[in-house]
Amino acid sequence: MTGHGRVFTAGEAIVRLVSEQYGPLEHAGSVSVGVGGAELNVAIGLARLGHAVTFAGVVGDDAWGRRVARELNAEGVHGLRRTDPGAYTAAYGRERRSGALCRAHYLRIGSAGSRLTVDDAESWDLTDVDTVHLTGITPALSTTARDCWHHLAQRAAGTGAEVSLDVNYRSRLWSRDQAAEVLHEVLPDVTLLIAGTDEAALLLSCLADDVGQDLPGAASALRALLPRQADVLIKLGLDGSLHAGADGSLTRGRTVPVSAVDAVGAGDAFAAGYLSGWREGLTPDERLHRAHTAAAFVVGSAGDWEGLPRRDELPEGIGLDDQEVRR
C-alpha cells in the first residue's frame, strides 16, 4: 500500500441496475447489476491505485447489502458496514433512452444509507487516518445523515486529518439554497474543495457563466471560504480543470482523449486520481494528469467504477483513444 496513513470516506452504497437495451426501463428485458455510490467509487479508485482506504456506511440485511460487502472486499477496500434490518439497501435503475440520453430512477427514500447517525460518525476509528473524503450527496439524504457527515468532518479536522469535499450537487435530493447553506457550514474544516463550474456558482451565489468568464476570480473567491492552506479544484468538463493552490498558484489540467462509452462515475474517478496524487506529494500538474487519466479510463468503460485503472495501467492512459492492441 502507498503511504502510511489511511483514506476514510463514508456515504450511501447503492445498487446499480442498468438496462441492457435502449428504450424505456419498463420494457427492459434484462439489466446488468453492480454497486456504486460516489464515496464507494472513490474508495475503490484509491484502492486500485495502491492506497489503504476505508468506506463506512449502512446497508440493509438483504442481498444488495451482501453484494456491497462482496465488491468492497474483492477490491481491497476495508468496509465498516452497519446492517440495519429495518431498512433496505438503496438502488437505482438506469435506462438508455435513446442515443446518448440516459435517465436514472432512484429507490432510496428511507434507505439504510440514509440512516447514518452521529453515533456512527463517533464510533468510527480514525486512528492513522490522514485524509477524510466527503461529498455533498450524503448530507442531502436525511437530517441524521447530515448530522453524521458534519460530525465526521469536525472529528477529522480535530485529529489534524486533511478533509476533502467534492460538492457533487444533486438537484433531485435538495434545492440549491439548501445545499449552499449546509455546505457552507462545513467549509471551515475543508482543505481540498472539488467543484464543477455550476457547483462553484452554487457556493458563490452567482451564475455558472460568471464562474466560467473569470475562473481565477472564482477560484480566489472559493479559497476565501476555506482555511488558509486549502486548495480548490474546479472541474471544467471537456475543457479540463483548474487547480488553485494555497500559495496562490493556478494550474490548468487537460482531459485525456478517449472514445466515450459511459460517462457515469467520471467525476468520482477524477477525485480518486487527484487524491492519490495529493497524498503522494505530486505537483499540481501531476495530480491533475492522474485525475484526468483515471476519469478517461472510466469514461471509456461501462459501469460506474469497473474501468478504474490500477497503478501499473496509468502510463497507458496516453493510448486510450487509439486502436492498438497492447501485447
Q: Which of 120, 166, 231, 268 is catalytic?
A: 268
175: which 3 cell numbers? 434545492
Distance linking the first and last C-alpha atoms of the chain: 27
Q: Whose grid coordinates read 485525456?
A: 256
Distance of alpha carbon 142 from its chain centroid, rounded? Answer: 19
Residue 273 exposed, middle or buried by CB count within 10 Å (0-12, 13-18, 19+): buried
CB 227 within 8 A of CB 191: yes
Task: Identify whether 210 is a catalytic site residue.
Answer: no
Question: Measuring CA to CA, how many Å separate 223 from each of 199, 244, 283?
Answer: 14, 8, 19
187: which 3 cell numbers? 467549509
Q: Give CB contacts under 8 A, 24+ apart, made by 235-241.
A: 235/194, 235/195, 235/196, 235/197, 235/267, 235/270, 236/196, 236/197, 236/212, 237/196, 237/197, 240/288, 240/292, 241/270, 241/288, 241/291, 241/292
Residues recognised as catalytic: 268
